[in-house]
Structure 1
Amino acid sequence: MMRSWLPLILVILLISAGLWFSESPPEQFLGKRPTPQQQNRAADLVIKGAETRHFDQAGNLAYRVDAEQITYFQFKRRDRANLKEPRMLFYTDDQPKWATRSKRGVAFNRGERIVLSGDVQIDELPGPNGIQLETPRITIFPDREFAETDKVVTISSGPNRTEGTGMRAYLKENRMEILSDVKSSYDTQ
Structure 2
Amino acid sequence: MRTWLPLVIVVALISAGLWFMESPPEQLVGKRPTPQEQNRAPDLVIRDAKTRHFNQEGTLAYRVDADKITFFQFARRDRADLTEPRILFYQGDQPKWRTVSRTGVAHNNGQRVVLRGDVEITEQPEPGGVRLETQQITIKPRQEYAETDKLVTITAGPNRTQGKGLRAFLKQDRVEILSDVESSYEPN
Question: How far apart are 1:38 and its partner, in Å?
Answer: 6.1
Q: Which has the larger radius of gyration?
A: 2
Letter aligned with residue 69 of structure 2 = I
Q: What is the Cα-based RMSD across aligned positions, in Å?
A: 1.2
2:86 aligned partner: 87
User: What amino acid is aligned across from residue 81 of structure 2 in structure 1?
Assistant: N
Q: Which residue of 2 aligns with 1:140?
A: 139
Distance (whole Å) between structure 1 residues aligned to residue 138 and residue 161 of structure 2? 20
| Aligned counterpart, 2:177 | 178
Normalised by the length of structure 1, the TM-score is 0.79
- Residues 126-158 of structure 1: CA deviation (Å, up to 9, x unaligned): 110000000000000000000000000000000
Aligned length: 154
Structure 1 residue ranges, 4+ long, deviating more than 4 angstroms after superposition: none
The 2-side partners of 1:85 and 1:72 are apart by 15
Q: Report the TM-score, using the length of structure 2 for normalisation.
A: 0.80
Q: Counterpart of 2:42?
A: 43
Name the SS of the counterpart of 1:76 in structure 2.
coil
Q: CA deviation at 1:177?
A: 0.2
1:102 positional shift: 0.1
Residue 54 of structure 1 and its aligned partner are, at CA, apart by 0.2
Shift of residue 116 of structure 1?
A: 0.2
Residues 1:131 and 1:38: Cα distance change in structure 2 (over 3 Å): farther
Q: Structure 2 regions of 5+ residues with no counterpart?
A: 1-34
